[in-house]
Structure 1
Amino acid sequence: MDPLILDDIRIALDGAPLLGIDTVIAPGDVLTVMGPSGVGKSTLLAYIAGFLSPAFQARGRVLLGSRELTRLPAEARRVGLLFQDPLLFPHLSVGGNLAFGMAASGSRRQRRQRVAAALAEIGLEGFADRDPATLSGGQRSRVALMRVLLSSPRAMLLDEPFSKLDAALRGEMRQLVFQRIRQEGLPALMVTHDAADAEAAGGAVIELEP
């Protein structure tokens, strides 16, 4: 995997500087960006992912290794996003949600087998035909994580991914998410206001001031 390079990124709103960042995130590492609401944490993720609102003014390059992402549409960047809400598609089964982001290669049977193996990996064996509405919060979070991983991202962005979970689930999901990021060798950037998230991630921390 390649490093995620944030090359002299500067973001402003109505001409007023909002944030600046210039760093490299190595494969398998998690950079945590902390700060209170309104300092631009989610705005930074939107710029990296390719859906920053035109209300903001931004400059600086986003690269994965030597591949520049800055001018690519969001769907071509291969950057996985994990939000605080699992955001599963209600009209698709659990298996359908997992298959959504997968490459169209392979037969239908092979894709079903891949979905079944992915569910078994996160402790949800046999859940492929379930309605997402019947899942617990922790189960939905695990499905959302696996859906991102099955889309074969080259980097991960985490937007307050554990804030909606209760304390017991939070520890379990932190362990699962950061373990998978290391296993897959993905450079990851997490924004959070929770110091325990940063501690669990184990990487560098940047604090944005209001």
Structure 2
Amino acid sequence: MSDRDVVLGRIGRALGPRPRDPDVTYEDAVARAYRRGPGDGARERDSGVLDLLAENLADYRAVVHRADGDGLADLLARLLAARGARRVLVPPGLPPTWLAEAAVEQVPDRAADTAYDLDRVDSVVTGCAVAIAGTGTLVLDGSPDQGRRRVTLVPDHHVCVVRVPDQVVASVPEALGRLDPRRPLTWISGPSATSDIELDRVEGVHGPRTLEVVLVSGV
């Protein structure tokens, strides 16, 4: 018996017998009684969960900002100016009001663009699908305000806007319940980083060197 057979056998035993009813899938048949965090989602709108998200994002060396809907455009303009960004990559569904006050060239995401083209932009601004407070993780799913996966992996500076409290959950199981597994999911916990055998941390190897997260209410 190969290692592959062993692994698949364990998966099969964990799933249990295949449902006899052809209209019932494993998705319907497998129990998912996961612990979903404090109050099974009841604390999504609790400021304590938002504080936990901000704390864990900062622990991963993301830079966290807070704003309301009226101040979002001004904050984004200031963040991009502080970075010295002149060319900013913009997903097709990003609300135009978000960058209305930014004195930058807005570069649309084009399918024909290569990694070299994307490397010529200074920053990218996106929304997100869900943010997980317990792990400090942002999840992007390729929706119009987020763009394709590569637009957040090549530029050196990523500004991600999280609508709070609606897009914030306490735990990973809660996030999975909101996400479509058929979509291209990108899970982000802080800026890209790796360590060599000497444990020297190097940032920006597999993605942006700098991640800024804006927690915005009232949008």
| TM tier, smaller | 0.3 to 0.5
TM-score (norm 1): 0.33
Structure of larger gyration radius = 2
Q: Could you say which structure has the higher helix fraction?
A: 1
TM-score between both structures, scaled by the size of structure 2: 0.32
Structure with more relative contact order (C-alpha pairs < 8 Å, separation 6 or more):
1
